[in-house]
């Protein structure tokens, strides 16, 4: 599965692509951060992001796009910028018929670190470890985009997850990393709690 993850924002929009195999081995395909400045007009900033997203979707042809869900406890101006950038990404994927999934920051943190309360440094370290990178992706927006892609790929293929229902696989719980096992356990608890 090829996933394009996006950490949306007007000032810095992280874009990362990973390939994840059925046994959950992940490989970095590419990562970048698209930047705009606050003194640019809003339409120009959104156009910059739209062009970058279009280029990455065309170049990498992902199976799915994973976008960070707008977090309501941010300040209003931050929420607006994130929402505007998210809309650009979602529309670009929709034009190409690529499915889009939204994930909260805590879901992503839990998927890659085992804790929904992990800080940005912990997420960055785990992304580098999972992808076997010699250098951690910088800035944090780059690591966050990759974390989104990883979280989606693992969640979508996790044994017992809705997308894996009815699918037979040789993968067992022993093939999972500790973060993946914690994610699987959290999903099971959430289903039981409904």
Active-site pick, 7, 107, 144, 187: 7
Query: Maximum Cα–Cα distance for the chain, whole Å?
Result: 54
Active-site pick, 23, 107, 119, 141: 141
Give bridge partners of residue 14 from the DSSP assignment: 7, 33
Cis peptide before 157, with omega less than 30 degrees from 0? no
Q: Residue 143 and residue 113: Cα distance in Å, rounded?
A: 13
The rounded Cα 27 to chain-centroid distance in angstroms is 14
**What is the helix, strand, coil percentage profile of the chain, to 5?**
50, 20, 30
To the query of whether residue 7 is one of the catalytic residues in this protein, the response is yes
Q: DSSP character for 102?
A: E
To the query of whether residue 141 is one of the catalytic residues in this protein, the response is yes
To the query of whether residue 68 is one of the catalytic residues in this protein, the response is yes
Q: List active site positions.
A: 7, 68, 141
């Amino acid at each position: 599965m090829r996933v394009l993850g996006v950490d949306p924002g007007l000032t810095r929009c992280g874009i990362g692509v990973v390939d994840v195999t059925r046994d959950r081995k992940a490989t970095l395909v590419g990562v970048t951060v698209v930047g705009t400045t606050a003194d640019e007009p809003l339409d120009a900033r959104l156009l910059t992001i739209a062009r970058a997203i279009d280029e990455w979707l065309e170049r990498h042809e992902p199976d799915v796009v994973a976008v960070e869900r707008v977090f309501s406890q941010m300040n209003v101006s931050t929420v607006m910028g994130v929402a505007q950038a998210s809309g650009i990404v979602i529309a670009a994927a929709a034009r190409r018929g690529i499915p889009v999934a939204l994930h909260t920051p805590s879901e992503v943190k839990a998927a890659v670190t085992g804790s929904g309360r992990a800080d940005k440094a912990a997420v960055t370290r785990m992304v580098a470890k999972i992808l076997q990178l010699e250098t951690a992706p910088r800035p944090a927006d780059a690591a966050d985009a990759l974390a989104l892609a990883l979280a989606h790929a693992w969640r979508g293929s996790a044994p017992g997850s809705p997308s894996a229902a009815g699918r037979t696989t040789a993968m067992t719980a022993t093939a999972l990393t500790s973060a993946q096992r914690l994610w699987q356990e959290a999903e099971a608890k959430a289903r039981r709690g409904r």
